[in-house]
Structure 1
């Protein structure tokens, strides 16, 4: 029986929900759990034989299934109906070219650009005036250097207050 836990690591690199919806459109109805499972296996980089092995299925059966379902839907979705699938990897290449990957592995996640212990939370996503609006809560811990400069600011304020006070007393 197919479960959503199998090949779940595909969700780390691929926009599965959008892909499922777009493939359902290409198919004309929702993808079955088995179709989703086989697709996730491909997106994880497994060959049809490896998918079959991990699922305890017949490799020829999985290959036949993929040819009759997922391969057809993807070809239709990415407008490659006239092209021959030379290798199962064509599917992931075509989907990548069509923008279904979440992010390129060469790009750095935002967390690697921020200081340690920083926290990023997306608090809301909405569409306003034909724009996607993200509300983000970003917490960056202050460093020792910024604490020192804040303390220096406090000292400067004290000095200013003293000089103003002395100046107004005529001293």
Structure 2
């Protein structure tokens, strides 16, 4: 039985809820608890061999399961259906490149500006005819309530 208690460190570095939802779309139905567990293990840096050992499962069985499930969903999700997975780390890297890893992209501080932390949670790039469309899920965190920008200072294009 899959435990939601295992490999919880992945939740600190990854937007798991969005990733679960997007992978469910790629799969066509919700991820199973075992698929979520295996995904968290990979995102926590465990190799399939280490994952199998940690769960007292067959290394070959876990490898086959990953190849038939998660690896396929991730390849479909990130648009790499035709690419070969050379190493389990490809999954980690592809999901990181797709913007599912939550990390500080930088802090900006100056005497004239508010100290804000910017966190890009996810970015999608699509090409439509002769246009490149970039959708970014951006989270801005101010360290104090007094530093939050007033809504009227931001126009509809997101410019201050």
| Bucket of the pairwise TM-score, normalised by the shorter protein | 0.5 to 0.7
1:71 paired residue number = 71
TM-score when normalising by structure 1: 0.63
* Structure that is richer in helix per residue: 1
RMSD value over aligned CA atoms? 2.6
Q: 1:18 aligned to 2:18?
A: yes
Larger Cα-atom Rg: 1
Partner SS, residue 71 of structure 1: helix
Q: 1:62 aligned to 2:68?
A: no
Shift of 1:101: 0.5
Q: Distance in 2 between matches of 1:83 and 1:100?
A: 20
Q: Distance in 1 between matches of 2:142 and 2:35?
A: 36
CA deviation string 1:101-150 (max 9, x = no partner) = 0115x757x9xx9xxxxxxxxxxxxxxxxxx998978279xxxxxxxxxx
Q: Distance in 2 between matches of 1:55 and 1:98?
A: 28
User: Equivalent of 1:138, from 135, 144, 152?
Assistant: 144
Q: Which runs of 5+ in 1 are unaligned?
A: 114-131, 141-171
Q: 1:98 aligned to 2:98?
A: yes
CA spacing shift, 1:96–1:137, aligned 2, 3 Å = closer
Partner SS, residue 19 of structure 1: helix
Corresponding residue pairs, total? 118
Shift of 1:36: 0.3
